[in-house]
Amino acid sequence: MDDLYRTTQTDDELNREQKPKDISKALQELSSVLEKEIDCYADLLETVKSEQKAIIYGKLNELKLAIEAEENLIASTRALAEARHNIVALIGREIGCTRPDLTLKDIIRRVGPDQKGKLNSLRDDLRKITKELDFMNRANAQLIKSSVDFINETMWILLQTNKNQDSVYDSDGKEQQQAGRRILVDKIG
In the chain, the domains with their CATH numbers are: 2-143 (1.20.58)
CA–CA dist 162, 17 (Å, integer):
83
Q: Are 33 and 87 in contact (CB under 8 A)?
A: yes
Tens of pLDDT, residues 72-92: 999 999 999 999 999 999 999
Element containing residue 144 per DSSP (H, E) = helix 113-163
Confidence of residue 123 (pLDDT cuts 50, 70, 90): very high
DSSP for residue 112:
-
Is the pLDDT higher at 15 or at 161? Answer: 161
Distance in Å from the first CA to the final CA of the chain: 95
Residue-wise pLDDT tens digits, 129-146: 999 999 999 999 999 998
Is 71 exposed, middle or buried, given 0-12, 13-18 or 19+ CB atoms closer than 10 A?
A: exposed
Phi/psi of residue 41, nearest 5 degrees: -65, -35
Write phi, then psi, for 117 (nearest 5 degrees). Answer: -60, -45
- Least confident piece of the model among 19-33, 76-90, 118-132: 19-33
Q: How confident is the model at residue 70 (pLDDT cuts 50, 70, 90)?
A: very high
3-state DSSP call for residue 177? coil
Q: Within 58-112, where are the H helices?
A: 60-94, 104-110
Q: What is the pLDDT of residue 169?
A: 61
Q: Which of 37-46, 92-101, 142-151, 167-176 has the lowest mean pLDDT?
A: 167-176
